[in-house]
Amino acid sequence: MPTVLKRIQPAVIKYAQIIEQVTRVDVEIVDTRLDRIAGTGIKNTNISKSMANEGRIYNYVLQTGETCYIDNPKENELCRYCSQKEECHELTELAMPITLGEERIGVIGLICFNQAAQARVAANVTAYREFTKTIADFISTKAYEYQESLRTKQTMDVLNEVISHVAEGVLLLRQDGRVQGANTSAVNQLPGIELLGHTVTIKETGDTILDQKEYAISANDRTIVCYGEMITIDSPLAGYDHIFLFNNLKNVKSSIYQLTNLDQEQGVSQIIGQADNMRQLKKQIRKVADSSSTVLITGESGVGKGLIARVIHSEGARKDKPFVSVNCGAIPDTLLESELFGYVKGAFTGADPRGKIGKFEMADKGTIFLDEIGDMPLYLQVKLLSVLQDRKLSRIGSNQIIDIDVRVIAATNKDLVTLIRENKFRRDLYYRLNVIPLLIPPLRERKEDIPALIQLLLKKYSRLFSRSTMTMEPHTLQILKEYSWPGNVRELENTIEFMVNMSDSGVLTTQCLPENIRHYHDAGLPSDHPAEEETAQAGNEGIVKLKDLEKEAILHALSVCGETMEGKQEAAKRLGIGIATLYRKLEKYR
């Protein structure tokens, strides 16, 4: 690792040149490794090379902190054992330490190679000492400034790392509004606004909510209202002048909606559905809610497996105890084990020095919900099986056995039996999980529930967007009832949110429908036909251009997966294209 003088070498070289210009004596400056950092005259060679073989005097100065004035080279005690003594041409040397606090960080050497220089130094030793001491102090100050700037930079690096992990949106801004940094939450909350490297306008509106100021963020002819705080940073090393912490209007109002719990029913009554298959599901939930047996919830993506898990918990005897949810498909394999079972201090490189409690321990006496269980790696399935059998676990890096009392609810949209045949899921774990199987029917198999779901969602998003409760014209409702909803309730919710945003009045019409649903209806296609069969089913008069099919497939995928960054990544995955390709095509189609 470079020494402090090596890090500020250009400045040290300038100070050496100043000393030489004033004293007309050759100058050499070395660091604590006895590497030559700067030199003038005869010493202006081998810069950055080690002077250890001829640096006995410098080494003595570094060890003692004393200034040495030697006017009898070769005869001086410090020169007696020097290996370069016979080749030495120095007549006089003045060596002075450079200190930083209590630490010696280098040595300045003034060296005379001719009698004229020797005579000048001899006649003015005190003045030469004082001048050299002043330059040594200048170098020390420069070194201190460098170390302080390094410490500040390290602090800012830590701050930036923390910022990237906070849940609020964070923008790092220059005085002119140019965005120097943005965390993932900020990108997700400001769709359609280019951030990093671009300039945004942020103005207070004068309103407040939950004691937070309201701001309007504008760029690219788009304005998004948010609530937060602008913090001024007084550090030139930060690279930015302000930190803006915020949540957009939707997130803030959504939190209020959840906190106030307006008109929100609890237990099985939360489940909207009067279709026969949903009535049967509700009966099953009521029967198993008080049990401690493991439940396996299956169903397509978007049917509401998480809601069913919470309902089972809230209906049962453990409703006042913790409900801990873990998405096994969203956490990297390398982190999932520590998330589930925790670890002790020093268990692995990068671990929290205080250790960490796992999700199973957090759910003790309550319920743990293992979503996307089909994505759990095989090596973790073994440990999970052991926990399910014995209701005991040990944290990573520990031999201590911990007893747990937890109910397990697992969920997946995959066919676990097929995964077993493919050796991707353990048969014994499947039987441990599948004690009480619950199958959630897809929305296309309970279409009579669609009007009630739409009514609930209209009420939610009308309140969320500060509008009077909206209604839907009958023809539009019929179109939605006929659609097959491959994304199930999640797609339906995204669709209603989209329509409320697009509406100019209190009534949702066909003009508010997403393009993919309107396309299916206008083309006269049965809504439950797979996308890959559309052209064949349409007949000659219903032939659709390939670019339109591509556009429709992309927009449909987004309506199912959502417009968030994670949603777009999932959409790209399902479409079989890269995320960069998806963004490029979106620019063309929007």
Question: What's the distance, Cα to Cα, between the start and end of the chain in Å?
Answer: 53
- Identify whether 157 is part of a domain: no
pLDDT class for 523, splitting at 50, 70, 90? low
Contacts of 187 (CB under 8 A, 6+ apart): 195, 565
Q: Are residues 476 and 556 in the same domain?
A: yes
pLDDT class for 526, splitting at 50, 70, 90? very low
Q: What is the mean pLDDT of the chain?
A: 84
pLDDT class for 164, splitting at 50, 70, 90? low
Query: How many angstroms separate the CA atoms of 487 and 71, rounded?
Result: 91
Burial of 18 (0-12, 13-18, 19+ CB in 10 A): middle
Query: How many angstroms separate the CA atoms of 433 and 387, rounded?
Result: 12
Neighbours of 177 (CB within 10 A): 17
Q: Are residues 78 and 134 in the same domain?
A: yes
As given in the structure block, the two tokens for residue 152 are 């500040």
- Identify whether 161 is part of a domain: no
- Identify whether 111 is part of a domain: yes
* 512-525 core/surface letters (b: 16 or more CB in 10 A; e: else): bbbebbebbbeeeb
- Identify whether 50 is part of a domain: yes
Give the domain-ending residue among 377, 409, 441.
441
pLDDT of 534 above 60: no
Q: Are residues 256 and 275 in the same domain?
A: no
334-350 mean pLDDT: 83
Containing domain of residue 83, as a range?
4-149
pLDDT class for 265, splitting at 50, 70, 90? very low
Q: Which pLDDT value is given to residue 553? A: 82
pLDDT of 253 above 70: no
Query: How many angstroms separate the CA atoms of 252 and 466, rounded?
Result: 12
pLDDT class for 256, splitting at 50, 70, 90? very low
Q: Please tell me the pTM assigned to this model.
A: 0.50
- Identify whether 532 is part of a domain: yes
- Identify whether 163 is part of a domain: no
Contacts of 77 (CB under 8 A, 6+ apart): none
* Residue in 433, 430, 453 with CA at minimum distance from that of residue 443: 453
Q: Which pLDDT value is given to residue 259? A: 37
- Identify whether 303 is part of a domain: yes
- Identify whether 162 is part of a domain: no
Q: Are residues 280 and 309 in the same domain?
A: yes
Task: CATH number of the domain at 466, please.
Answer: 1.10.8.60
Contacts of 352 (CB under 8 A, 6+ apart): none
Q: Which pLDDT value is given to residue 504? A: 83
Contact 428, 388 (CB under 8 A): no
Q: Are residues 431 and 299 in the same domain?
A: yes
Query: How many angstroms separate the CA atoms of 538 and 523, rounded?
Result: 7
Q: Are residues 434 and 466 in the same domain?
A: no
Query: How many angstroms separate the CA atoms of 484 and 127, rounded?
Result: 94
Q: Are residues 55 and 97 in the same domain?
A: yes
Give the domain-ending residue among 441, 463, 489.
441
| Count of the separate structural domains present in the chain | 4
Q: Are residues 241 and 319 in the same domain?
A: no
- The model's pLDDT over 395-444, given as tens digits with 9 standing for 90+, comes to 888 888 889 999 999 999 999 999 999 999 999 999 999 999 999 999 99
Task: CATH number of the domain at 406, please.
Answer: 3.40.50.300
pLDDT of 532 above 60: no
Q: Which pLDDT value is given to residue 538? A: 40
Task: CATH number of the domain at 69, please.
Answer: 3.30.450.40
Neighbours of 124 (CB within 10 A): 13
pLDDT class for 252, splitting at 50, 70, 90? low
The 103-112 sheet, strands edge to edge: 36-39, 26-31, 103-112, 92-100, 68-70
47-61 mean pLDDT: 83
Q: Are residues 311 and 400 in the same domain?
A: yes
Q: Are residues 435 and 450 in the same domain?
A: no
Give the domain-ending residue among 413, 441, 469.
441
The label of the residue with tokens 């220089």 reads 117
Q: Are residues 428 and 542 in the same domain?
A: no
Burial of 270 (0-12, 13-18, 19+ CB in 10 A): middle
Q: Are residues 354 and 454 in the same domain?
A: no
Query: How many angstroms separate the CA atoms of 31 and 319, rounded?
Result: 68
